[in-house]
């Protein structure tokens, strides 16, 4: 009986001869196709012989690995996300964004007003405690979501959309006044070629009246300071040209704008070390005031300086991370190296500024602590006074070097904060379909106006 059942089963499974002759042979439905990239990742069939994987190519890796890499490359192209051309451009752009006006303009003033070496100690503590982990966080967010600050935090959670928007708003405030400072430096660079230097004798009046055109108050808006207006327009035009093609064009500029400031710093350090009173300035810079170290204000200002100079929570780090090549993305490596380079550059810049303060103190007969300087005064008042005291020829040369350094530092930082706002604009529905140069020009024109 079992044999009869098996025979009937076989007869039922064999197609009829008439159907085979008429071409109406019915075959069982075929299995769904297996994607080529996953073909050799399937479990071998229980029946039949499994197909062997392809032999390794010349590089020693199997062809299916190459296919996977190609798929990743196609995904990058398909999502339309621009990338830095290479790791060097990403690294230099990131360093240039951090190493900016905060290092050579703001940092010396805070060291001067908050205990010299005491502030330096607190500053480096917060570089490691705050700067490094926060930089790693922002960089990883951009690398993972591959969007700007607003897009990344919104995709992380709709509840964090406000956080991303805050990053963009902070960047908007930064670019609104950064180009003004670049404009001031451009005016000083222009006047550096005059003999004698036009601020010689009264640097404070030259800065506030000739350069800034300081008004009597907020209500005094009856005139335009045309030199500042023109310099600001030139700074915005430069920003637009640099970022006209996004990071692909901005990444080329940093080869010059990031390396040049270090050459200028080296020249200023060498000159400062030979100035009368320069060694006293260095001693004051490194002297640790224990009372200031115990003052909570010193630590608050140091933490604030880390946020300002490293540039965390301003959108630029997230934006740069989103444009980084995936094969080079390492948030731990870059998140440690870049903030440390930023801190060391600030420390190095102090050796360019404080010898000049020592020189001024010796010329005026005052102590360095009695110079009564704050904020931008260290750079645009004290340092320019020291430059004017140099012999003719040297004064013009080092003035040009110093303000060229300030301009390039400002441009580097401006690339980061401006790209944050431009990326936000490109990722909105309103401007998402616009050509990239048009978005860049529109943002720059809007903030200038």
The DSSP secondary structure of 92-124, one letter per residue, reads HHHHHHHSSHIIIIIHHHHHHHTTBHHHHHHHH
CA–CA distance from 76 to each of 67, 71, 73, 79, 384 (Å)?
A: 14, 9, 5, 5, 49
For residues 251 and 93, the answer to whether their CB atoms sit within 8 Å is: yes
Residues contacting residue 191 through CB under 8 Å, at least 6 positions apart: 197, 198, 199
For residues 388 and 199, the answer to whether their CB atoms sit within 8 Å is: yes
For residues 403 and 183, the answer to whether their CB atoms sit within 8 Å is: no
Q: What is the pLDDT of residue 202?
A: 86
| Selection from 307, 309, 322 nearest residue 423 by Cα | 322
Q: What is the pLDDT of residue 133?
A: 96
| DSSP reduced 3-state for 288 | strand
| Selection from 212, 254, 225 nearest residue 92 by Cα | 254
Q: What is the pLDDT of residue 328?
A: 85
For residues 116 and 378, the answer to whether their CB atoms sit within 8 Å is: no
Q: What φ, ψ does residue 225 adopt, rounded to 5°?
A: -85, 95
Secondary structure (DSSP) of 408-441: HHHHHHHHHHHHHHHHHHHTSTTTTTS-HHHHHH
Rounded Cα gap, residues 104 and 363, in angstroms? 23
Q: What DSSP element (H or E) covers 219?
A: none
Q: Is the dihedral of CA 7, 11, 12, 13 positive or negative?
A: positive
- Per the structure block, which two tokens stand in for 334? 């870059």
Q: What is the pLDDT of residue 122?
A: 96
Query: Which own/partner contact pairs does 231-236 have at CB distance under 8 Å and 24+ positions apart?
Result: 231/182, 231/183, 231/184, 231/186, 231/187, 232/179, 232/180, 232/183, 232/448, 233/448, 234/183, 234/186, 235/179, 235/180, 235/182, 235/183, 235/186, 235/410, 235/414, 236/179, 236/444, 236/445, 236/447, 236/448
Ordered mean pLDDT values, 10 residues apiece, the chain (449 residues): 50 47 47 42 40 44 42 44 89 93 87 91 96 95 93 94 94 88 93 92 87 78 85 93 88 91 92 90 91 92 93 92 89 95 94 91 83 73 88 92 92 92 90 88 89
Q: What is the pLDDT of residue 329?
A: 84
Kindly report the number of other CB atoms within 10 A of residue 202's CB atom. Answer: 14
Rounded Cα gap, residues 235 and 204, in angstroms? 24
What would you report as the CA-atom Rg of the chain, rounded to the nearest whole angstrom? 31
Q: What is the pLDDT of residue 1?
A: 53
- Per the structure block, which two tokens stand in for 242? 């640099």
Q: What is the pLDDT of residue 380?
A: 86
CA–CA distance from 220 to each of 206, 208, 209, 214, 215 (Å)?
A: 20, 15, 14, 9, 6
Rounded Cα gap, residues 208 and 381, in angstroms? 9
Question: Which pTM was predicted?
Answer: 0.77
Q: Omega into 416 within 30° of 0, i.e. cis?
A: no
Secondary structure (DSSP) of 294-345: T-HHHHHHHHHHHHHHH-TTSSHHHHHHHHS-GGG--HHHHHHHHHHHHHHH
Q: What is the pLDDT of residue 105?
A: 82
For residues 81 and 146, the answer to whether their CB atoms sit within 8 Å is: yes
| DSSP reduced 3-state for 83 | coil
Residues contacting residue 316 through CB under 8 Å, at least 6 positions apart: 97, 171, 416, 417, 419, 420
């Amino acid at each position: 009986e079992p044999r009869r059942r098996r025979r009937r089963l076989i007869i039922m499974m064999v197609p009829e001869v008439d159907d085979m002759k008429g071409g109406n042979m019915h075959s069982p439905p075929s299995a769904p196709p297996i994607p080529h990239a996953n073909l050799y990742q399937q479990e071998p069939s229980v029946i039949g012989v499994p197909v062997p994987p392809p032999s390794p190519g010349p590089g020693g890796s199997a062809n299916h690995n190459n296919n996977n890499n190609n798929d990743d490359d196609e995904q990058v192209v398909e999502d339309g996300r621009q990338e830095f051309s290479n790791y060097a451009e990403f690294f230099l752009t990131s360093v240039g964004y951090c190493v900016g006006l905060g290092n050579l303009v703001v940092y010396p003033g805070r060291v001067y007003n908050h205990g010299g070496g005491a502030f330096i100690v607190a500053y480096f503590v917060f570089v490691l405690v705050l700067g490094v982990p926060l930089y790693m966080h922002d960089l990883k967010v951009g690398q993972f979501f591959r969007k700007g600050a607003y897009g990344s935090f919104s995709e992380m959670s709709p509840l964090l959309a406000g956080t991303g928007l805050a990053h963009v708003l902070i960047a908007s405030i930064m670019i609104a006044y950064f180009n003004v400072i670049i404009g001031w430096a451009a005016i000083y660079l222009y006047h550096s070629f005059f003999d004698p230097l036009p601020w010689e004798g009264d640097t404070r009046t030259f800065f506030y009246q000739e350069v800034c055109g300081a008004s009597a108050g907020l209500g005094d808006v009856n005139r335009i300071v045309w030199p500042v207006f023109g310099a600001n327009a030139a700074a915005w035009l430069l920003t637009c040209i640099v970022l006209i093609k996004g990071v692909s064009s901005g990444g080329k500029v940093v080869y010059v704008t990031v390396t040049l400031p270090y050459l200028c710093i080296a020249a200023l350090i060498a000159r400062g070390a030979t100035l009368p009173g320069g060694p006293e300035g260095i001693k004051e810079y490194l002297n640790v005031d224990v009372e200031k170290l115990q003052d909570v204000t010193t630590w608050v200002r140091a933490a604030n300086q880390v946020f300002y100079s490293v540039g965390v929570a301003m959108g630029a780090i997230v934006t740069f991370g989103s444009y980084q090549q995936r094969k080079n993305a390492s948030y731990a490596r870059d998140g440690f190296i870049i903030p440390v380079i930023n801190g060391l550059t600030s420390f190095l810049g102090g050796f360019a500024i404080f010898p000049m303060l020592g020189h001024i103190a010796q010329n005026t007969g005052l102590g360095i602590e009695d110079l009564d300087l704050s904020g931008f005064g260290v750079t645009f008042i004290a340092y320019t006074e020291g430059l004017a005291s140099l012999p003719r020829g040297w004064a013009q040369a080092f003035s040009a070097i110093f303000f060229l350094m300030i301009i390039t530092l400002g441009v580097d930082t401006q690339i980061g904060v401006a790209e944050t706002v431009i990326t936000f604009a490109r990722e909105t529905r309103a401007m998402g379909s616009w050509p990239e140069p048009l978005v860049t020009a529109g943002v720059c024109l809007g903030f200038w106006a």
